[in-house]
């Protein structure tokens, strides 16, 4: 019966169906379900440790404690464990019961099915491995049932055909087993294996004799009239011998699978599952099991191993320089540079200047960079480290302690003879454009008409530290800003060494992502991670360091914050220590990670762990697209599934031609007009941005209606064509996102989640209400709406946001606008067109008719 209900799932109101499914769960299954839940609730209290009582602990199993053999499947480690197992167990168990009847399953699941695996497990664990790992949880049943199912499937479709290779289907549970063992932490591979083994045996029928003989069961039933008394009781006679037991197995697995109409009904759930799992996955990351502690993997760094001497009379010098800088406050860029240059020249360093002019959103960002090179004694100009100080930081405050500190450090570094790399001191008028211009020019990637080439150069840049020390008072701890342009990150080793120098050596606290106070708990970790991901997703330059990272120069910005007793010298010592570490480097930083999410200064997840979530979200689009493609190959007739007798489900719906022209045309159109907003928002002057945005928003809401109206009136597309349109747009979306996920994970995930409703949009020929609700929903998640909402949420003007985007695009080469306007927006457009589409009711193709007759 499940299959029928399942088959009918694609009906309109699926949640109702779901409820009915839950209602129709048979008795024993419910019992197990309830038992598990109860045990979990009991386990919540901390007075009595249920788990030690009930788990299957090899050493504790004695005659007195045989009960463990029966209790352990009901007991779970934590909520997730229980939930997963329940979700996995219920359908299988339900199937088993409705096939073999309640009594049989009761007998089996309290007899052999629970004891045999546990005995096997005990034997192997105690006698063979001589270990003592406690196991618990219903997953052992899951695998047992999977084993049975697998054997049955094998009897029908022995091979799954991949390419030209036949994979016996009975191996599928093993694959699952391995995946679980690999992915799920602390899952007992051995226990699962035992369960699976028993399942195989049973499936092969070797355990038949364990099942109680039928006539006894019948007798019991008759005597107790169980069928009458118990609700949802599955009697012996109601048993269906497996839905596929006696089917004519003509053709092979692939053929069968594809011909099975239920195959076409699975994908929506599959992609829904993908999205859900993707999201859940993300929220699992901050847990200890998934995140890792950071560690220094480049041995040459030796952070905090050197004593730092920056103190004493250097503070006098610092004060003097600070006076100088304060006098310069408010002067023009040129005057500032003149004075600073004279000071730096006095230190005996080589100095040079660089003019740059950027134009973005009608504004002109121009200025002059000043930089000085401290040539490494005995060094050859092969490698260099950069110390950047922006005259004004990102917020536009004067960097009043940073600049003097840099000057003092320059004077101090000059005294050392141990530098193996040149040290470049760079002072830029602003925090984004200046460094960008300088780095571009350093790598000759600049447009020399607007940006001067550098008159003075050194070797390969091995690292860069930016100082943003605007606050007047003494500070408490250091804030590390590490996001680069387009979400690129510096090598984790750099952050680690700063953390260990500041935190470990100097005893200065370290914060990231503006989490000023971080108790290393789940919520804070999650918040840190999400902030990081948001910054990464936006991909804009977050400080002077950002421009370095695209050139594979690892860089961070150090911001003192808080009110504490640390003075400027302490900050200087942090920089000194970091530079000593960088100076130790023999090779370019390459050991540690470049793709990671930090959730605390000493906790991170690496790409291998977090990538699946984005990939799953991206995959859901692809799955749906393929499903739609296949589906569009059949003459769709929703009525058959219900009206026809159960048996005819196995006849396939007839195939028809796809006419691809219109869908392709629509998609091409959507993609091509995506250029318009991109151009518009990147070239409109700043003043004109808000009105343009308003105008575009209005157009944006109107456009789908116009398009679909045009289509319906002139082309009157069929359902199939709608399916194809959707399929193509989803295909593109999935493709873009999955490739983007490897470059900028966060952006891909954000877009993917925001676009996920598009997967489930379909034309509503019948109900106008549904159509308009969907349209509303779509408008709520349209790019424009999201931008607007985001701006409002962070208390910004839309104009600012767009200007920032344009600036990022023009100056830093940030590609977020492209992704938004050329990937997300077209998909959204196509989705809403599909939603608004009114497919004409089409006549049933002839073969389908001929089929209905028999």
The answer to whether residues 291 and 492 touch, using CB atoms and an 8 Å cutoff, is no
Rounded CA-CA distance 284/278 in Å is 10
Q: Within a 10 A sphere around the Cβ of 464, how many other Cβ atoms?
A: 28
Residues in 540-569 at the binding interface with other proteins, rule: CB under 8 A: 551-552
User: Residue 457 CB, nearest distance to other proteins (Å)?
Assistant: 5
Residues in 408-427 at the binding interface with other proteins, rule: CB under 8 A: 411-412, 414-417
Question: 3-state SS of 645-710?
Answer: CHHHHHCCCCECCCCCHHHHHHHHHHHHHCHHHHHHHHHCCHHHHHHHHHHHHHHHHHHHHHHHHH
By the rule CB under 8 A, 633 interacts with other proteins:
yes
Closest to other proteins by CB, 242 or 790: 242
The active-site residue, picked from 76, 192, 446, 518, is 192
Rounded CA-CA distance 533/511 in Å is 16
User: Residue 381 CB, nearest distance to other proteins (Å)?
Assistant: 4
Closest to other proteins by CB, 157 or 682: 157
* Beta pairing, strands 460-467 & 555-566: parallel
Out of 242, 612, 690, 790, point to the residue binding other proteins (CB under 8 A).
242
The answer to whether residues 344 and 425 touch, using CB atoms and an 8 Å cutoff, is yes
What pairs with residue 475 in β-bridges?
Answer: 566
Rounded CA-CA distance 707/501 in Å is 60
User: Residue 817 CB, nearest distance to other proteins (Å)?
Assistant: 24
Out of 200, 233, 281, 728, point to the residue binding other proteins (CB under 8 A).
200
Rounded-to-10 torsion of CA 545, 550, 553, 559: 20
Out of 34, 129, 220, 445, point to the residue binding other proteins (CB under 8 A).
445
Rounded CA-CA distance 622/617 in Å is 9
Helix, strand, coil fractions of the chain, as percent rounded to 5: 60, 10, 30
> Residue length, the chain?
854
Closest to other proteins by CB, 118 or 253: 253
By the rule CB under 8 A, 444 interacts with other proteins:
yes
By the rule CB under 8 A, 651 interacts with other proteins:
yes
Closest to other proteins by CB, 667 or 689: 667
By the rule CB under 8 A, 813 interacts with other proteins:
no
Rounded CA-CA distance 48/46 in Å is 6
Out of 62, 213, 312, 608, point to the residue binding other proteins (CB under 8 A).
312
The answer to whether residues 341 and 351 touch, using CB atoms and an 8 Å cutoff, is yes
By the rule CB under 8 A, 594 interacts with other proteins:
no
By the rule CB under 8 A, 204 interacts with other proteins:
yes
Closest to other proteins by CB, 255 or 780: 255
Phi and psi at 72, nearest 5°, equal: -60, -30
Q: Which stretch binds other proteins (CB under 8 A): 159-167, 285-293, 463-471, 485-493?
A: 159-167
What pairs with residue 464 in β-bridges?
Answer: 386, 555
What pairs with residue 398 in β-bridges?
Answer: 392
Q: Within a 10 A sphere around the Cβ of 385, how many other Cβ atoms?
A: 25
Closest to other proteins by CB, 244 or 290: 244
Closest to other proteins by CB, 352 or 688: 352
Residues in 448-467 at the binding interface with other proteins, rule: CB under 8 A: 457, 459-460
Rounded CA-CA distance 55/73 in Å is 8
Residues in 663-702 at the binding interface with other proteins, rule: CB under 8 A: none
User: Residue 271 CB, nearest distance to other proteins (Å)?
Assistant: 21
Residues in 123-152 at the binding interface with other proteins, rule: CB under 8 A: 151-152
By the rule CB under 8 A, 842 interacts with other proteins:
no
CB-side exposure of 759: number of CA atoms within 13 Å? 26
By the rule CB under 8 A, 847 interacts with other proteins:
yes
By the rule CB under 8 A, 379 interacts with other proteins:
yes
Residues in 327-366 at the binding interface with other proteins, rule: CB under 8 A: 346-348, 350
Nearest CA among 384, 407, 389 for reference residue 457? 384
Give the neighbor-by-neighbor strand order of the sheet with 596-600.
Answer: 292-293, 603-606, 596-600
Please indicate whether residue 139 is annotated as part of the active site.
Answer: yes
Phi and psi at 401, nearest 5°, equal: -95, -25
Give the neighbor-by-neighbor strand order of the sheet with 460-467.
Answer: 350-360, 363-374, 422-428, 383-390, 460-467, 555-566, 475-481, 509-512
By the rule CB under 8 A, 255 interacts with other proteins:
yes
Out of 5, 14, 65, 166, point to the residue binding other proteins (CB under 8 A).
166
Q: Which stretch binds other proteins (CB under 8 A): 386-394, 441-449, 541-549, 663-671?
A: 441-449
Out of 77, 284, 334, 381, point to the residue binding other proteins (CB under 8 A).
381
Q: Which stretch binds other proteins (CB under 8 A): 364-372, 657-665, 769-777, 782-790?
A: 657-665
User: Residue 784 CB, nearest distance to other proteins (Å)?
Assistant: 37
Closest to other proteins by CB, 127 or 246: 246
- Give the rounded distance of the alpha carbon of 638 from its chain centre: 36
By the rule CB under 8 A, 587 interacts with other proteins:
yes
By the rule CB under 8 A, 47 interacts with other proteins:
no
The answer to whether residues 556 and 542 touch, using CB atoms and an 8 Å cutoff, is no
Closest to other proteins by CB, 213 or 312: 312
Out of 165, 215, 223, 517, point to the residue binding other proteins (CB under 8 A).
165
Q: Within a 10 A sphere around the Cβ of 38, how many other Cβ atoms?
A: 11
Q: Which helix (H) or strand (E) holds 20?
A: helix 14-23
By the rule CB under 8 A, 299 interacts with other proteins:
no
User: Residue 372 CB, nearest distance to other proteins (Å)?
Assistant: 12
By the rule CB under 8 A, 164 interacts with other proteins:
yes
Out of 62, 205, 638, 766, point to the residue binding other proteins (CB under 8 A).
205
Burial class of residue 42 (count of CB atoms within 10 Å of its CB; 0-12, 13-18, 19+)? middle
* Total residues at interface with other proteins (CB under 8 A): 98
The active-site residue, picked from 98, 105, 118, 139, is 139
By the rule CB under 8 A, 846 interacts with other proteins:
no
Closest to other proteins by CB, 175 or 695: 175
Give the residue numbers annotated as catalytic, written as ranges.
139, 192
């Amino acid at each position: 019966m499940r299959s029928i209900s399942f088959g009918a799932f694609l009906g309109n109101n699926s949640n109702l169906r779901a409820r009915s499914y839950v209602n129709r769960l048979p008795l024993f299954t419910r019992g197990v379900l309830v038992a598990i839940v109860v045990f979990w609730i009991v386990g919540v209290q901390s007075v009595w440790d249920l788990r030690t009582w009930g788990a299957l602990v090899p050493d504790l199993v004695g005659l007195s404690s045989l009960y463990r053999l029966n209790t352990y499947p009901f007991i779970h480690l934590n909520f997730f464990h229980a939930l997963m197992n329940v979700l996995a167990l219920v359908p299988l168990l339900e199937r088993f019961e409705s096939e073999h009847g309640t009594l049989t399953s009761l007998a089996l699941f309290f007899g052999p099915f629970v004891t045999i695996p546990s005995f096997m497990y005990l034997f192997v664990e105690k006698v063979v491995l001589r270990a003592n790992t406690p196991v618990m949880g219903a997953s052992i049943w899951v695998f047992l049932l999977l084993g049975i199912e697998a054997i049955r499937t094998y009897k029908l479709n022995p091979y799954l055909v991949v390419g030209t290779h036949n994979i016996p289907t009975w191996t599928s549970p093993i694959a699952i087993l391995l995946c679980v063992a690999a992915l799920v932490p602390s899952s007992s591979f051995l226990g699962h294996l035992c369960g699976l083994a028993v399942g195989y045996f049973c499936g092969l029928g070797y355990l038949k004799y364990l099942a109680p003989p039928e006539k006894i069961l019948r007798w019991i039933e008759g005597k107790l009239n169980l069928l009458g008394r118990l609700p949802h009781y599955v009697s012996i006679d109601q048993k269906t011998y497996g839905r596929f037991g006696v089917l004519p197995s003509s053709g092979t697995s692939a053929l069968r699978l594809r011909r099975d109409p239920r195959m076409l009904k699975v994908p929506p759930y599959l992609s829904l599952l993908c999205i859900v799992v993707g999201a859940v996955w993300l929220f699992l990351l901050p847990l200890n099991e998934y995140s890792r502690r950071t560690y220094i993997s480049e041995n040459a760094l030796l952070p905090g191993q050197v004593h730092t001497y920056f103190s004493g009379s250097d503070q006098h010098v610092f004060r003097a320089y600070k006076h100088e800088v304060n006098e310069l406050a408010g002067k023009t860029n040129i005057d500032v540079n003149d004075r600073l240059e004279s000071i730096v020249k006095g230190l005996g360093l080589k100095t040079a200047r660089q003019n740059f002019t950027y134009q973005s959103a009608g504004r002109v960002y121009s200025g002059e960079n000043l930089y000085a090179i401290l040539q490494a004694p005995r060094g050859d100009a092969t490698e260099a480290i950069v110390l950047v100080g922006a005259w004004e930081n990102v917020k536009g405050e004067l960097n009043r302690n940073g600049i003097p500190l840099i000057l003092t450090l320059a004077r101090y570094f000059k005294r050392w003879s141990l530098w193996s790399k040149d040290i470049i001191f760079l002072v830029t008028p602003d925090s984004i454009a200046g460094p960008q211009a300088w780095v571009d020019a350093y790598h000759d990637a600049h447009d020399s008409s607007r940006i001067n080439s550098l008159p003075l150069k050194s070797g390969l840049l091995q690292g860069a530290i930016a100082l943003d020390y605007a606050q007047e008072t003494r500070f408490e701890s250091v804030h590390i800003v590490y996001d680069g342009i387009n979400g690129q990150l510096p090598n984790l080793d750099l952050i680690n060494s700063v953390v260990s120098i500041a935190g470990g050596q100097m005893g200065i606290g370290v914060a990231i992502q503006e989490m000023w106070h971080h108790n290393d708990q789940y919520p804070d970790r999650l918040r840190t991670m999400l902030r990081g991901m948001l910054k990464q997703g936006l991909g804009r330059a977050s400080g002077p360091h950002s421009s370095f990272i695209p050139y594979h120069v690892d860089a961070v910005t150090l911001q003192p914050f808080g009110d504490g007793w640390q003075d400027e010298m302490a900050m200087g010592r942090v920089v000194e220590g970091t530079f000593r570490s960088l100076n130790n480097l023999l090779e370019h930083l390459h050991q540690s990670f470049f793709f990671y999410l930090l959730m605390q200064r000493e906790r991170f997840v690496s790409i291998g762990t977090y990538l699946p979530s984005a990939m799953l979200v991206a995959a859901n689009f692809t799955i749906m697209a393929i499903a739609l493609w296949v589906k569009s190959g059949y003459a769709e007739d929703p009525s058959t599934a219900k009206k026809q007798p159960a048996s005819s489900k196995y006849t396939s719906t007839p195939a028809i031609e796809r006419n691809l022209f219109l869908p392709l045309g629509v998609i091409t159109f959507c993609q091509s007009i995506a250029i318009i907003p991109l151009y518009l928002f990147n070239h409109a002057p700043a003043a004109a941005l808000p009105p343009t945005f308003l105008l575009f928003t209005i157009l944006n809401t109107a456009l789908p209606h116009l398009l679909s109206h045009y289509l319906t009136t002139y082309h009157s597309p069929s359902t199939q064509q709608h399916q194809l349109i959707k399929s193509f747009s989803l295909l593109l979306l999935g493709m873009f996102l999955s490739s983007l996920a490897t470059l900028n994970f966060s952006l891909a995930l954000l877009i993917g989640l925001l676009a996920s409703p598009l997967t489930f949009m379909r034309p509503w020929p019948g109900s106008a209400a549904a159509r308009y609700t969907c349209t509303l929903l779509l408008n709520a998640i349209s790019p424009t709406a999201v931008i607007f909402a985001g701006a409002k949420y962070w208390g910004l003007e839309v104009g600012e946001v767009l200007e920032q985007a344009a600036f990022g695009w023009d100056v830093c080469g940030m590609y977020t606008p492209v992704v938004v306007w050329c990937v997300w927006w077209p998909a959204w457009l196509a989705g809403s067109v599909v939603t608004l589409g009114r497919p004409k009711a089409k006549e049933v193709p002839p073969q389908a008719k001929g089929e209905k007759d028999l």
